[in-house]
Amino acid sequence: MLETAGTPYPAPTDAPGTRHGSLHGRPARTYLMCPPTYFTVGYSINPWMDPRVPVDTARAVRQWEQLRQTYRLLGHTIHLIDPVPGLPDMVFAANGGTVIGGRVLGARFLHAERAAEADAYLSWFRANRYRSVREPLVINEGEGDLMCAGRAVLAGHGFRSDLAARDDIEELFGLPVVSVRLVDPRFYHLDTALCVIDANTAAYYPGAFDDAGRAAVAAQFSDLIEATEQEAAMLGLNAVSDGHHVVLAAEAAVLAAELAVRGFEPVAVDMSEFRKAGGGPKCCTLELRP
């Protein structure tokens, strides 16, 4: 659904603590998001999750709404998928699939706790008449591990997605796949350790990758920003770039400064409740590439 239909959330207003600007001639993006109606941490499937630490769902809703408003104020289009009771991690829409050129590769989750999310997202794509919707043959956790870098798709593996997912990606999207191994369990998805800023620029935490992975990332980008371990551990790299604005965690001040020096515009948001489940702005955002 479009975000104005069937949602209890109010119309957007300026979100405090954010900076906004024009799209600088770049096309607007289209994102899919899922309201955090049922978000909580009731199980543990990554090092961030501790069911003993309470989640303030009302605060999570406010943070998510700020993120949604931020995208709208930057000129982007938001679509919503209805949350499903019993699927608290469905708010992390990035894991729901990968969309490139209007084609959709669905997700298949490693953990049983999230398995039903795959069908919910596939149903949304089919209901919205995407021309090619493919169910994956092996485990891939959507844009959590599959990252479009323009000329290629970076595919993370080591904790969640299967190395063999590259076959699905190459066949469906017709793009070369660059596989990179993640080696630090804190950075269990590629989108926790790397953010594509534009076709030539990325930010990443080198310690999340093995030697071959670091070399592969370096070969893809002419400008690489190395995040500190401290900011990576605050999920500062779990960010969303439209090629000029970079929406990122408010705590990532050093990374924000590095981006600003290069002419990008950092836009800070508070996603602290979602960090309790290992998520940030990117985790909550699935790009629908036409």
Mean pLDDT, the chain, rounded, equals 93
Residue 213 lies in a domain: yes
In 115-210, which ranges are continuous DSSP H helix? 115-127, 165-173
Q: How many distinct structural domains can be found in the chain?
A: 1
The pLDDT of residue 20 is 46
Residue 252 lies in a domain: yes
Residue 93 lies in a domain: yes
The pLDDT of residue 104 is 98
| Residue 160 near residue 144, CB atoms below 8 Å | yes
Q: What digits encode the pLDDT tens for the residues 139-152?
A: 999 999 999 998 99
- Other CB atoms within a 10 A radius of the CB of residue 287 amount to 19
- Quick check: 11 pLDDT over 70? no
Average pLDDT over residues 126-144: 96
The pLDDT of residue 25 is 72
The pLDDT of residue 12 is 34
User: Helices (H) and strands (E) in the chain — how many of each?
Assistant: 7, 15
Residue 16 lies in a domain: no
Residue 17 lies in a domain: no
The pLDDT of residue 7 is 33
In the chain, which ranges are continuous DSSP H helix? 57-73, 115-127, 165-173, 211-220, 229-232, 253-261, 272-275
The percent of residues in the chain predicted with pLDDT above 90, rounded, is 90
Average pLDDT over residues 57-62: 97
| Residue 90 near residue 84, CB atoms below 8 Å | yes
The pLDDT of residue 159 is 98
Active site residue 283: yes
Q: What digits encode the pLDDT tens for the residues 195-242?
A: 999 999 999 999 999 999 999 999 999 999 999 999 999 999 999 999
CATH code for position 141: 3.75.10.10
* Domain region containing 228: 30-287
Considering 34, 148, 195, 283, which one is annotated as catalytic?
A: 283
The pLDDT of residue 81 is 98
The pLDDT of residue 26 is 77
Q: Which of 71, 80, 132, 74 is nearest to 103 (CA)?
A: 132
The pLDDT of residue 27 is 86
- Quick check: 8 pLDDT over 80? no
- Could you give the CA distance from residue 176 to residue 70 in angstroms, rounded to a whole number? 33
- Quick check: 65 pLDDT over 70? yes
Average pLDDT over residues 105-111: 98
pTM attached to this predicted model: 0.92
Q: What digits encode the pLDDT tens for the residues 140-193?
A: 999 999 999 989 999 999 999 999 999 999 999 999 999 999 999 999 999 999
* 8-state DSSP, 2: B
- Phi and psi torsions of 7, nearest 5°: -120, 140
Considering 76, 157, 189, 245, which one is annotated as catalytic?
A: 189
Residue 113 lies in a domain: yes
Residue 54 lies in a domain: yes
**Residue listed under structure tokens 């955002």:** 285
- Quick check: 126 pLDDT over 70? yes
Residue 8 lies in a domain: no
